[in-house]
């Protein structure tokens, strides 16, 4: 029996129960969540903070920022009290262990918590609600001042100039005005920036909408792909923006597919990112053959909260499906499609129209439709979810309510195609791959 994450629960299936001819072979393509647990997360984080890369320890940086504040100098003290330590954290669409990271940071800086502002890096996402903030911050909810970034609030943005690619740079003013700027986040796969983490907390995390749009319009470049850094214009543009709004300190982690912290790096942004990418590549990139069918879970909530987010799993895994094969995405999508522009483009554009629109009139959300339409030209996409089946069918996507029905129907169709190859001795039965954490698995053929 194979178990896949689905929302806050799981779905179970056995290919043997639905394989009519008994010719299918199944291979699990990602790490088993039951592997031995890594070292204690708090120890990993503490060690990283005690051994920063190419910077002083954070406690020294904070001490230097406030060293002129003395009881004898009321004026200097008043000036210092206007200064803040801003800690940038991932929003509710990420599964970053923010609570544990703040635990470690607070222990490290040893300073009055009134100094600290937690800045939630929403990018273009909707602001998190109270219950989502509680999930992000855990025990720290209510302990610190919280600022939620709004990419459309011009009053809260500072203009810093342009990048070499002409991207106008607008960044959150609370961050820019802080005495100490700290970035947190996780380094994982990203399907056009290469990897998340580091500079991504600034762009798109706390940048203006126009900055984000202009940067993301670079995604049509052939090097703007998952796991690619060298020559990736999206990544390089992000790095330019981050250099214009540099953090004083960065704490990034790498988690395994079960969400457990396996590595942490702290200090200089570029060095932290370089080290983190090296570890993440070892964990998340799989070299595999191609399969007739892939069954891919996005990884459960919050990764599959909506189709806009969960579709990343399709992009990460689609290359491992033979041309004309089938990919079944397993994603609850309790919040529906998740983005109005993405839905509008899927309703209105085929691949050719989407490609033209991305290049001539880029709009955030439309890029997801472009990627999905591009994949649909090559393979069949099916989705097991709570989404409206009529909407998916209109897009040309087969919708299923449960995993067993999906596998039974799709394997039957594939077997007819494969049978011809079997007769020619070109192939042995139906090859099925299973990915339990599609958002955290890059399949490279």
Residues 233 and 314 both lie in one domain = no
Q: Does residue 296 register a pLDDT over 60?
A: yes
CB 13 within 8 Å of CB 419: no
Name the pairing type of β-strands 157-162 and 168-172.
Answer: antiparallel
Asked if residue 381 belongs to a domain, the reply is yes
Asked if residue 16 belongs to a domain, the reply is yes
Show which of 235, 268, 283 is a domain's final residue: 283
Asked if residue 35 belongs to a domain, the reply is no
Residues 386 and 314 both lie in one domain = yes
Q: Does residue 421 register a pLDDT over 60?
A: no
Q: What are the backbone angles phi and psi of residue 362, rounded to the nearest 5°?
A: -60, 130
Residues 269 and 224 both lie in one domain = yes
CATH number at residue 143: 3.40.50.11440
* Residue 172 to residue 180: CA distance in whole angstroms: 14
Residue in 154, 282, 287, 165 with CA at minimum distance from that of residue 209: 154
Tokens representing residue 276 in the block: 């983190």
pLDDT at 427: 58
CATH number at residue 338: 3.90.226.30
Q: Please, which residues have CB within 8 angstroms of residue 421's CB and are 6 or more apart in sequence?
A: 427
Residue in 248, 213, 236, 211 with CA at minimum distance from that of residue 88: 248
pLDDT (average), residues 85-101: 93
Show which of 268, 283, 298 is a domain's final residue: 283
pLDDT at 78: 46
Residues 164 and 193 both lie in one domain = yes
Residues 52 and 177 both lie in one domain = yes
Residues 178 and 317 both lie in one domain = no
Residues 20 and 138 both lie in one domain = no
Print the domain residue range for 343: 2-29+288-444
Asked if residue 36 belongs to a domain, the reply is no
Residue in 345, 279, 350, 286 with CA at minimum distance from that of residue 319: 286
Lowest mean pLDDT among 273-287, 386-400, 407-421, 431-445: 407-421
Q: Does residue 193 register a pLDDT over 50?
A: yes
3-class state of residue 119 by DSSP = strand
Asked if residue 383 belongs to a domain, the reply is yes
Q: What is the 3-state secondary structure (H, E, C) of 258-289?
A: CCCEEEEEEECHHHHHHHHHHHHHHHHEEECC
Percent of the chain with pLDDT over 90: 74
Asked if residue 34 belongs to a domain, the reply is no
The residue among 110 and 280 whose pLDDT is bigger is 280
CA distances from 422 to 17, 154, 248, 415, 431 (A): 22, 62, 61, 10, 12
Q: Which residue has the tokens 């992009």?
A: 315
Asked if residue 372 belongs to a domain, the reply is yes
pLDDT (average), residues 287-307: 94
* Residue 290 to residue 121: CA distance in whole angstroms: 37
Asked if residue 132 belongs to a domain, the reply is yes
pLDDT (average), residues 14-34: 73
Tokens representing residue 215 in the block: 């940067």
CA distances from 302 to 33, 96, 181, 238 (A): 17, 10, 27, 25
Residues 303 and 387 both lie in one domain = yes
pLDDT at 386: 96
Residue in 96, 91, 364 with CA at minimum distance from that of residue 205: 91
| pLDDT class of 36 with cuts at 50, 70, 90 | low
Residues 324 and 438 both lie in one domain = yes
Show which of 233, 249, 283 is a domain's final residue: 283
| 158, 163, 166, 169: CA torsion to nearest 10 | -10
| pLDDT class of 429 with cuts at 50, 70, 90 | confident
Q: What are the backbone angles phi and psi of residue 161, rounded to the nearest 5°?
A: 120, -155
Give the number of domains in the chain.
Answer: 2
pLDDT at 420: 64
Residues 326 and 368 both lie in one domain = yes
Q: What are the backbone angles phi and psi of residue 412, rounded to the nearest 5°?
A: -65, -45
CA distances from 348 to 83, 232, 345, 352, 366 (A): 49, 29, 5, 11, 11
Residues 155 and 176 both lie in one domain = yes
Q: Please, which residues have CB within 8 angstroms of residue 119's CB and are 6 or more apart in sequence?
A: 86, 87, 88, 89, 147, 148, 149, 172, 174, 175, 206
pLDDT at 426: 55
Q: Does residue 415 register a pLDDT over 60?
A: yes
Q: Mean pLDDT of all residues in the chain?
A: 90
Percent of the chain with pLDDT over 70: 91
Q: What are the backbone angles phi and psi of residue 106, rounded to the nearest 5°?
A: -65, -40
Residues 25 and 159 both lie in one domain = no
**Structure confidence by residue, pLDDT tens digits, 125-177:** 889 999 999 999 999 999 999 999 999 999 999 999 999 999 999 999 999 99
């Amino acid at each position: 029996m194979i178990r896949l994450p689905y929302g806050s629960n799981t779905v179970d299936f056995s290919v043997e129960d639905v394989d009519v001819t008994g010719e299918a072979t199944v291979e699990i393509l990602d790490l088993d969540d039951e592997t031995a647990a890594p070292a204690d997360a708090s120890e990993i984080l503490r060690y990283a903070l005690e051994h920063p890369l190419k910077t002083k320890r954070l406690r020294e940086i904070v001490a230097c920022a406030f060293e002129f504040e003395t009881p004898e100098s009321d004026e200097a003290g008043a000036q210092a009290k206007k200064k803040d330590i801003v800690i940038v954290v991932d929003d509710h669409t990420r599964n970053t262990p923010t609570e544990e990271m703040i635990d470690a940071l607070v222990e490290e800086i040893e300073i009055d918590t009134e100094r600290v502002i937690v800045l939630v890096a929403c990018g273009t996402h909707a602001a998190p609600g109270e219950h989502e903030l509680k999930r992000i911050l855990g025990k720290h909810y209510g302990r610190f001042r919280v600022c939620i970034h709004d990419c459309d609030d011009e009053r809260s943005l500072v203009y810093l100039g342009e990048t070499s690619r002409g991207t106008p740079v607008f960044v959150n003013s609370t961050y820019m005005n802080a005495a100490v700027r700290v970035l947190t986040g996780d380094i994982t796969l990203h399907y056009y920036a290469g990897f998340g983490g580091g500079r991504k907390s600034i762009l798109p995390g706390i940048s203006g909408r126009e900055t984000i749009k202009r940067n993301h319009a670079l995604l049509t470049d052939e090097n703007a792909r998952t796991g690619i850094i060298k020559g990736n214009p999206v990544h390089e543009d992000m790095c330019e923006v981050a250099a214009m709004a540099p953090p004083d300190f960065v704490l990034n982690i790498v988690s395994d597919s079960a969400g457990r912290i396996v590595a942490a790096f702290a200090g200089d942004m570029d060095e932290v990112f370089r080290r983190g990418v090296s570890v993440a590549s070892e964990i998340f990139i799989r070299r595999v053959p191609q399969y007739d069918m892939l069954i891919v879970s996005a990884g459960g909530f919050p990764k599959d909260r909506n189709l806009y987010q969960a579709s990343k799993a399709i992009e990460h895994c689609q290359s491992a499906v033979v041309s004309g094969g089938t990919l079944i995405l397993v994603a609850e999508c309790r919040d529906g499609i998740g983005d109005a522009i993405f839905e509008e483009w899927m309703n209105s554009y085929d691949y050719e129209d989407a490609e033209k629109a991305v290049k001539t009139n880029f709009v955030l959300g439309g890029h997801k439709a472009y990627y999905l339409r591009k994949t649909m030209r090559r393979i069949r996409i099916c989705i097991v979810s709570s989404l409206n089946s009529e909407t998916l069918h209109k897009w040309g996507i087969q919708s299923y309510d449960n995993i067993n029905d999906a596998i039974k129907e799709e394997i039957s169709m594939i077997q007819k195609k494969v049978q011809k190859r079997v007769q020619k001795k070109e192939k042995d039965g139906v090859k099925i791959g299973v990915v339990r954490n599609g958002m955290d698995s890059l399949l490279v053929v």
